[in-house]
Amino acid sequence: MARIAADQHKFDVATERDRSLRNWLIERLRIMPDGISIVHADHHGNFIRLPYVEGAARWDPRKEPWFTISIEDSDEAHLSITKDVFANDEQVITLSLPIINSSDGSNSGVLALNLDIDKSIDILNNAFPPMKSRTFVMTREGEMVLNPGYPIEPVKLKALAQLAREYRGNFSLDSHYYAYRSIASQSWLVVHEVEEKELNNLVWAQCINIFWGMLFTLVVLFFCWWATRAALNTIFMRIATSIRAGTVKPAAVEELIFEEIHSSQQRQEKIAHEALTDGLTGLKNRRAFDADAARFNGKPNTWLAMIDIDDFKTINDTWGHPVGDVVLKTIADLGLRLRGLENITLYRYGGEELAVLFDGISPEKAQSYLEKWRITVNTRNFRENKLKVSFSAGLSRMGGAALPEVIARADKLLYQAKKSGKNKVIAS
């Protein structure tokens, strides 16, 4: 309304030429059942008040609080409780908004709408909340604005205002729960009060519904289990009868075929797993490394680490090959344990040499993983006296070259680590 009044109507109360503005305002007022009056005022004290009353010429709207508030803050509409000087100072709710000219942004006055408090209270009384509750409107300072007749002490209103400022959300006080929302430039609060026992009753009712739903689900699951078990027992009996009699009944042929296919699939998966897994360490083997590395080399942000156990031949010669196998398995177990859920894959490249592929991991994180693994291995105590194990590693970025060149680059960094004292990680 304020935007249309600013753009389409010229305010000229001195000559009263702007009858179209008056007619337009009175039409707006008629369609508002709780509207009492509407006022259009400018900075010079000129105004139009509808309905028209005698003696209005001596009234200065600029002295009204709603005019001052709207002039000082033009962001949004404001609500305030004021007295209507033309209705025996009866209290009304005044909704006011500055009139801003869209062409130059100038403020040409204020448009104010006075609303009937009793009708606004009727709105609260006629609302249908989801449970037994009370609703009222108060200011952020703890003053009552709209009260449908609830006995609320001023001290309690102050306490509610304090809690609203502290929690900025829902809270509880004196066996009641309170939910509130801000209106009117955040200066008024619509408060919804529910007794604790009412909300607890609602929670228990919901819990009972959930309990019956879960009980029904358990009954259905039990029935499904019983039906499945009965069907499986029938299948097993048919198979057993067929084995004893040496014949297969037509009804059992499909079931036997299904079981055979399922068993064959499991065997194939086991064979495929064993073909790509090192039997000693449980890591992926060289065949799996060649396939994965060729695929990883074409992806961005992938890294390759080549690892070699320091002085592994000495370990075998001093403590024997079984101890060497234990060392290899221990290093592999520690590496698998430290990787967690990261996209890190470990391989036994050959002999005492391991390989690691990092997918979508930063070089800093990859090097941190290798260092943590190296330190954990080096500080690990073995059953054999004076047995200390360490490894050296080279970390290189993948991509940008053929796979053999990438592997050679990582191997070169590994041998640099060996030559510079072993037990270290060198990255490029």
**C-beta neighbour count of 169 within 10 angstroms:** 10
At residue 407 the predicted structure's pLDDT band, cuts being 50, 70 and 90, is very high
Position 15 confidence tier, pLDDT thresholds 50, 70, 90: very low
**Position 11 confidence tier, pLDDT thresholds 50, 70, 90:** low
- Going by pLDDT thresholds of 50, 70 and 90, the confidence category of residue 74 is low
210 or 196: which carries more pLDDT confidence? 210
Q: Is 60 in the same domain as 70?
A: yes
CB atoms within 10 A of CB 10: 11
Is 279 a member of any domain? Answer: no
**pLDDT of 387 strictly over 50:** yes
142 and 169 assigned to the same domain = yes
pLDDT (tens digit per residue) in 75-101: 677 888 888 877 777 888 888 888 877
Q: Are strands 188-195 and 302-309 parallel, antiparallel or unpaired?
A: unpaired
CA distances to 348, 377, 388, 392, 413 from 420, in Å: 24, 19, 19, 10, 11
90: containing domain: 2-117
Distances (CA, A) of 185 to 73, 76, 105, 237: 10, 7, 21, 78
Cα–Cα distance for residue pair 81/114, rounded to 1 Å:
9
Strand 90-100 and strand 302-309: pairing? unpaired
For residue 356, list its beta bridge partners. Answer: 305, 346
* Co-location of 168 and 236 in the same domain: no
| pLDDT tens readout for residues 310-346 | 999 999 999 999 999 999 999 999 999 988 767 899 9
Query: Does 375 score more than 90 pLDDT?
Result: yes
Q: How many CB atoms lie within 10 A of CB 77?
A: 16
Residue that finishes a domain, picked among 87, 117, 147: 117
Q: Which of 143, 166, 352, 405 is catalytic?
A: 352
pLDDT of residue 14: 46
Q: Is 352 a catalytic residue?
A: yes
Could you report the per-residue pLDDT of 53-73, keeping only the tens digit for each?
Answer: 766 667 888 888 888 877 776
What's the number of domains the chain is made of?
A: 4
Across 330-346, b (16+ Cβ under 10 Å) vs e yields ebbebbeeebeeeebbb
Q: Quick one: pLDDT at residue 120? A: 80
pLDDT tens digits, residue range 275-324? 788 888 889 999 999 999 998 888 888 999 999 999 999 999 999 999 99
Instruction: State what percent of residues in the chain have pLDDT above 90.
Output: 30
- Decide which of 173, 198, 223 is a domain's last residue: 198
For residue 149, count other CB atoms closer than 10 A to its CB: 10
Cβ neighbours, 10 Å, residue 383: 8
Q: What is the mean pLDDT of residues 223-251?
A: 74
- Same domain for 210 and 192: no
Residue 298 belongs to a domain: yes
Is residue 158 within 8 Å of 142, Cβ to Cβ?
yes
The reply to whether 42 and 67 lie within a common domain is: yes
The verdict on 371 and 396 lying in the same domain is yes
| Cα 132 to Cα 391: distance, rounded to the nearest angstrom | 72
The whole-number pLDDT of residue 346 equals: 94
Same-domain check for residues 58 and 124 = no
Question: What's the residue count for the chain?
Answer: 428
Residue tagged 């070169």 (tokens): 412
**Residue 269: is its pLDDT beyond 50?**
yes
Q: Among 219, 256, 213, which Cα is nearest to 236's?
A: 256
Q: Which of 282, 400, 287 is nearest to 349 (CA)?
A: 287
Same-domain check for residues 241 and 186 = no
- What average pLDDT does range 114-127 have in this prediction? 81
Between strands 144-146 and 134-139, the pairing is antiparallel
Q: What is the CATH number of the domain that holds 408?
A: 3.30.70.270
